[in-house]
Amino acid sequence: MSAADTLLKPLIALGAFVIGAFAAIGRLAIFAARALKSAATPPWYPARLFEQMALIGWFSLPVVGLTALFTGAALAQQIYVGGQRFSAESTVPAVTVIAIVRELGPVLAGLMVAGRVASAMAAELATMRVTEQLDAMVTLRTDPWRYLIAPRLVASTLMLPVLVLIANIIGVLGGYGLSVFRLGFNAANYLATTRRFIEADDILSSLVKAAVFGFVIALAGCYHGFRSSGGAAGVGRATTNAVVLAFVLILLFNLAITVLVFGN
Protein backbone atom coordinates (compact mmCIF):
# COMPACT_ATOMS: atom_id res chain seq x y z
CA MET A 1 0.00 0.00 0.00
CA SER A 2 1.38 3.38 -1.03
CA ALA A 3 1.74 6.39 1.26
CA ALA A 4 -1.09 8.14 -0.58
CA ASP A 5 -3.43 5.20 0.05
CA THR A 6 -2.49 5.22 3.72
CA LEU A 7 -3.31 8.92 4.00
CA LEU A 8 -6.57 8.63 2.08
CA LYS A 9 -7.89 5.60 3.97
CA PRO A 10 -9.16 7.59 7.02
CA LEU A 11 -10.78 10.14 4.73
CA ILE A 12 -12.48 7.38 2.74
CA ALA A 13 -13.80 5.84 5.95
CA LEU A 14 -15.03 9.24 7.17
CA GLY A 15 -16.73 9.91 3.84
CA ALA A 16 -18.43 6.53 3.88
CA PHE A 17 -19.67 7.18 7.41
CA VAL A 18 -21.08 10.60 6.50
CA ILE A 19 -22.79 9.28 3.38
CA GLY A 20 -24.23 6.37 5.35
CA ALA A 21 -25.50 8.72 8.07
CA PHE A 22 -27.25 10.98 5.56
CA ALA A 23 -28.73 7.94 3.80
CA ALA A 24 -30.12 6.67 7.12
CA ILE A 25 -31.61 10.08 7.88
CA GLY A 26 -33.19 10.13 4.45
CA ARG A 27 -34.71 6.67 4.88
CA LEU A 28 -36.12 7.67 8.27
CA ALA A 29 -37.57 10.89 6.85
CA ILE A 30 -39.22 9.05 3.96
CA PHE A 31 -40.63 6.49 6.38
CA ALA A 32 -42.00 9.28 8.61
CA ALA A 33 -43.60 11.07 5.64
CA ARG A 34 -45.32 7.91 4.43
CA ALA A 35 -46.48 7.08 7.97
CA LEU A 36 -47.97 10.57 8.37
CA LYS A 37 -49.73 10.26 5.03
CA SER A 38 -51.15 6.88 6.09
CA ALA A 39 -52.38 8.37 9.38
CA ALA A 40 -54.07 11.29 7.60
CA THR A 41 -55.94 9.30 4.93
CA PRO A 42 -58.66 6.65 5.29
CA PRO A 43 -59.36 3.91 6.03
CA TRP A 44 -58.87 4.39 9.75
CA TYR A 45 -59.00 1.72 12.42
CA PRO A 46 -60.32 3.29 15.67
CA ALA A 47 -60.29 -0.02 17.53
CA ARG A 48 -56.57 -0.38 16.88
CA LEU A 49 -56.05 3.24 17.92
CA PHE A 50 -57.80 2.81 21.27
CA GLU A 51 -55.94 -0.43 21.88
CA GLN A 52 -52.60 1.30 21.34
CA MET A 53 -53.66 4.25 23.50
CA ALA A 54 -54.32 1.85 26.36
CA LEU A 55 -51.05 -0.03 25.84
CA ILE A 56 -48.97 3.13 25.58
CA GLY A 57 -50.77 5.32 28.10
CA TRP A 58 -52.43 3.31 30.82
CA PHE A 59 -49.85 0.53 31.08
CA SER A 60 -46.94 3.00 31.07
CA LEU A 61 -48.42 5.05 33.90
CA PRO A 62 -46.96 3.05 36.84
CA VAL A 63 -43.34 3.25 35.69
CA VAL A 64 -43.70 6.91 34.66
CA GLY A 65 -45.36 7.81 37.97
CA LEU A 66 -42.73 6.08 40.11
CA THR A 67 -39.91 7.65 38.10
CA ALA A 68 -41.41 11.13 38.51
CA LEU A 69 -42.05 10.65 42.23
CA PHE A 70 -38.53 9.50 43.06
CA THR A 71 -36.93 12.09 40.77
CA GLY A 72 -38.92 14.95 42.26
CA ALA A 73 -37.99 13.95 45.79
CA ALA A 74 -34.31 13.46 44.96
CA LEU A 75 -34.20 16.75 43.07
CA ALA A 76 -35.63 18.67 46.03
CA GLN A 77 -33.06 17.11 48.33
CA GLN A 78 -30.16 17.99 46.02
CA ILE A 79 -31.38 21.56 45.51
CA TYR A 80 -31.69 22.00 49.27
CA VAL A 81 -28.15 20.71 49.86
CA GLY A 82 -26.78 22.94 47.11
CA GLY A 83 -28.77 25.93 48.33
CA GLN A 84 -27.31 25.60 51.83
CA ARG A 85 -23.90 26.59 50.44
CA PHE A 86 -25.30 29.97 49.39
CA SER A 87 -27.99 30.37 52.10
CA ALA A 88 -30.62 29.89 49.38
CA GLU A 89 -32.64 26.99 50.76
CA SER A 90 -35.85 28.90 50.03
CA THR A 91 -35.35 28.39 46.29
CA VAL A 92 -36.22 24.69 46.55
CA PRO A 93 -39.92 25.03 45.54
CA ALA A 94 -39.25 27.34 42.59
CA VAL A 95 -36.28 25.46 41.16
CA THR A 96 -37.94 22.08 41.65
CA VAL A 97 -41.13 22.96 39.78
CA ILE A 98 -39.29 24.70 36.93
CA ALA A 99 -36.79 21.86 36.50
CA ILE A 100 -39.47 19.19 36.55
CA VAL A 101 -41.95 20.89 34.24
CA ARG A 102 -39.44 22.23 31.72
CA GLU A 103 -36.98 19.35 31.54
CA LEU A 104 -37.10 16.36 33.83
CA GLY A 105 -40.79 15.54 33.50
CA PRO A 106 -40.92 15.35 29.69
CA VAL A 107 -37.46 13.84 29.22
CA LEU A 108 -37.67 11.15 31.90
CA ALA A 109 -41.22 10.20 30.94
CA GLY A 110 -40.17 10.03 27.30
CA LEU A 111 -37.15 7.86 28.06
CA MET A 112 -39.14 5.49 30.25
CA VAL A 113 -41.90 5.14 27.67
CA ALA A 114 -39.31 4.71 24.92
CA GLY A 115 -37.68 1.85 26.81
CA ARG A 116 -41.03 0.16 27.21
CA VAL A 117 -42.96 1.07 24.06
CA ALA A 118 -40.38 1.46 21.29
CA SER A 119 -38.89 -1.93 22.09
CA ALA A 120 -42.32 -3.58 22.15
CA MET A 121 -43.34 -2.02 18.83
CA ALA A 122 -40.07 -3.00 17.18
CA ALA A 123 -40.22 -6.57 18.50
CA GLU A 124 -43.84 -7.06 17.43
CA LEU A 125 -43.43 -5.62 13.93
CA ALA A 126 -40.08 -7.33 13.40
CA THR A 127 -41.59 -10.67 14.34
CA MET A 128 -44.42 -10.06 11.90
CA ARG A 129 -41.89 -9.19 9.22
CA VAL A 130 -39.67 -12.25 9.64
CA THR A 131 -42.69 -14.58 9.85
CA GLU A 132 -44.14 -12.98 6.68
CA GLN A 133 -47.32 -11.82 8.41
CA LEU A 134 -46.91 -8.36 6.88
CA ASP A 135 -46.77 -9.90 3.40
CA ALA A 136 -49.91 -11.88 4.22
CA MET A 137 -51.71 -8.67 5.20
CA VAL A 138 -50.85 -7.12 1.85
CA THR A 139 -52.11 -10.26 0.10
CA LEU A 140 -55.41 -9.88 2.01
CA ARG A 141 -55.66 -6.24 0.83
CA THR A 142 -55.00 -4.76 4.26
CA ASP A 143 -52.51 -1.91 4.28
CA PRO A 144 -50.04 -2.54 7.14
CA TRP A 145 -49.13 1.16 7.14
CA ARG A 146 -52.69 2.16 8.05
CA TYR A 147 -53.50 -0.89 10.17
CA LEU A 148 -50.27 -1.20 12.19
CA ILE A 149 -48.13 1.92 11.95
CA ALA A 150 -50.61 4.82 11.82
CA PRO A 151 -52.49 3.83 15.02
CA ARG A 152 -49.20 3.52 16.91
CA LEU A 153 -47.96 6.93 15.78
CA VAL A 154 -51.23 8.70 16.58
CA ALA A 155 -51.71 6.93 19.91
CA SER A 156 -48.17 7.64 21.07
CA THR A 157 -48.40 11.30 20.03
CA LEU A 158 -51.68 11.73 21.91
CA MET A 159 -50.81 9.81 25.07
CA LEU A 160 -47.35 11.18 25.83
CA PRO A 161 -48.67 14.66 26.74
CA VAL A 162 -51.12 13.04 29.14
CA LEU A 163 -48.39 10.95 30.73
CA VAL A 164 -46.04 13.94 30.98
CA LEU A 165 -48.74 16.09 32.58
CA ILE A 166 -49.31 13.40 35.20
CA ALA A 167 -45.55 12.96 35.64
CA ASN A 168 -45.13 16.69 36.22
CA ILE A 169 -47.80 16.68 38.92
CA ILE A 170 -46.37 13.60 40.63
CA GLY A 171 -42.82 14.96 40.41
CA VAL A 172 -43.84 18.25 42.04
CA LEU A 173 -45.70 16.32 44.74
CA GLY A 174 -42.60 14.19 45.32
CA GLY A 175 -40.53 17.31 45.93
CA TYR A 176 -43.32 18.74 48.09
CA GLY A 177 -43.54 15.63 50.24
CA LEU A 178 -39.82 15.42 50.91
CA SER A 179 -39.50 19.16 51.52
CA VAL A 180 -42.40 19.30 53.96
CA PHE A 181 -41.92 16.06 55.86
CA ARG A 182 -38.11 15.86 55.88
CA LEU A 183 -36.67 19.32 55.27
CA GLY A 184 -39.15 21.25 57.41
CA PHE A 185 -40.76 23.49 54.79
CA ASN A 186 -44.16 25.02 55.48
CA ALA A 187 -46.71 23.23 53.31
CA ALA A 188 -48.80 26.31 52.44
CA ASN A 189 -45.75 28.44 51.63
CA TYR A 190 -44.27 25.67 49.49
CA LEU A 191 -47.43 25.38 47.38
CA ALA A 192 -47.80 29.16 47.11
CA THR A 193 -44.22 29.50 45.86
CA THR A 194 -44.76 26.69 43.39
CA ARG A 195 -47.87 28.37 41.96
CA ARG A 196 -46.13 31.74 41.77
CA PHE A 197 -43.14 30.52 39.76
CA ILE A 198 -44.83 28.13 37.33
CA GLU A 199 -45.94 29.81 34.10
CA ALA A 200 -48.24 28.82 31.26
CA ASP A 201 -45.32 28.80 28.81
CA ASP A 202 -43.55 26.20 30.96
CA ILE A 203 -46.54 23.87 30.83
CA LEU A 204 -47.11 24.48 27.11
CA SER A 205 -43.50 23.75 26.20
CA SER A 206 -43.63 20.61 28.32
CA LEU A 207 -46.67 19.32 26.45
CA VAL A 208 -45.20 20.22 23.06
CA LYS A 209 -42.05 18.30 23.96
CA ALA A 210 -44.20 15.36 25.05
CA ALA A 211 -46.10 15.24 21.75
CA VAL A 212 -42.85 15.34 19.76
CA PHE A 213 -41.32 12.66 21.98
CA GLY A 214 -44.39 10.47 21.53
CA PHE A 215 -44.12 10.73 17.77
CA VAL A 216 -40.40 9.91 17.63
CA ILE A 217 -40.82 6.99 20.06
CA ALA A 218 -43.41 5.34 17.83
CA LEU A 219 -41.46 6.29 14.71
CA ALA A 220 -38.28 4.62 15.99
CA GLY A 221 -40.10 1.45 17.03
CA CYS A 222 -42.10 1.13 13.81
CA TYR A 223 -39.16 2.04 11.56
CA HIS A 224 -36.79 -0.60 12.86
CA GLY A 225 -39.49 -3.20 13.33
CA PHE A 226 -40.98 -2.72 9.86
CA ARG A 227 -37.59 -2.88 8.14
CA SER A 228 -36.28 -5.84 10.12
CA SER A 229 -34.71 -8.87 8.46
CA GLY A 230 -32.57 -11.85 9.39
CA GLY A 231 -34.79 -14.01 11.58
CA ALA A 232 -34.57 -14.02 15.36
CA ALA A 233 -31.26 -12.15 15.35
CA GLY A 234 -32.89 -9.44 13.23
CA VAL A 235 -35.68 -9.07 15.77
CA GLY A 236 -33.11 -8.53 18.50
CA ARG A 237 -31.24 -5.96 16.45
CA ALA A 238 -34.44 -4.12 15.59
CA THR A 239 -35.45 -3.93 19.24
CA THR A 240 -32.06 -2.61 20.36
CA ASN A 241 -31.78 -0.12 17.50
CA ALA A 242 -35.30 1.17 18.11
CA VAL A 243 -34.60 1.99 21.75
CA VAL A 244 -31.26 3.63 20.95
CA LEU A 245 -32.77 5.71 18.15
CA ALA A 246 -35.70 6.76 20.34
CA PHE A 247 -33.34 7.86 23.13
CA VAL A 248 -31.15 9.85 20.73
CA LEU A 249 -34.13 11.55 19.06
CA ILE A 250 -35.68 12.44 22.41
CA LEU A 251 -32.50 14.11 23.63
CA LEU A 252 -31.95 15.82 20.26
CA PHE A 253 -35.46 17.26 20.01
CA ASN A 254 -35.42 18.19 23.69
CA LEU A 255 -32.36 20.35 23.06
CA ALA A 256 -33.86 21.86 19.90
CA ILE A 257 -37.18 22.76 21.56
CA THR A 258 -35.46 24.10 24.67
CA VAL A 259 -33.25 26.38 22.60
CA LEU A 260 -36.18 27.58 20.47
CA VAL A 261 -38.53 28.21 23.41
CA PHE A 262 -36.16 29.39 26.12
CA GLY A 263 -33.19 30.54 24.04
CA ASN A 264 -34.01 34.20 24.55
Residues 96 and 57 in one domain: yes
Give the domain extent around 230. 45-262
Residues 37 and 51 in one domain: no
Count the neighbouring beta carbons within 10 Å of the beta carbon of residue 191.
Answer: 15
Question: Can you give the pTM of this predicted structure?
Answer: 0.89
pLDDT at 186 over 90: no
- Give the pLDDT confidence of 53-112 residue by residue, as tens digits: 999 989 999 999 999 999 999 999 998 888 777 777 788 888 889 999 989 999 999 999
Q: How many residues does the chain have?
A: 264
Domain count, the chain: 2
Residues 17 and 109 in one domain: no
Residues 138 and 242 in one domain: yes
Q: Which amino acid does the sequence have at 74? A: A
Residues 83 and 115 in one domain: yes
Alpha carbon distances (Å) from 153 to 16, 131, 169, 232: 32, 23, 25, 25
Contact status, residue 96 vs residue 172, Cβ threshold 8 Å: yes
- Give the pLDDT confidence of 111-170 residue by residue, as tens digits: 999 999 999 999 999 998 888 888 888 888 888 899 999 999 999 999 999 999 999 999
| CA 39/CA 215 separation, integer angstroms | 12
pLDDT at 1 over 60: no
Residues 162 and 37 in one domain: no
Residues 96 and 18 in one domain: no
- Give the pLDDT confidence of 25-35 residue by residue, as tens digits: 899 899 999 99
DSSP letters of 107-146?
Answer: HHHHHHHIIIIIHHHHHHHHHHHHTTHHHHHHHTT--HII
Spatial CA neighbour of 193 closest among 80, 96, 123, 49: 96
- Give the pLDDT confidence of 232-241 residue by residue, as tens digits: 888 888 899 9
The answer for residues whose C-beta is within 8 angstroms of residue 193's C-beta and 6 or more apart is: 90, 93, 94
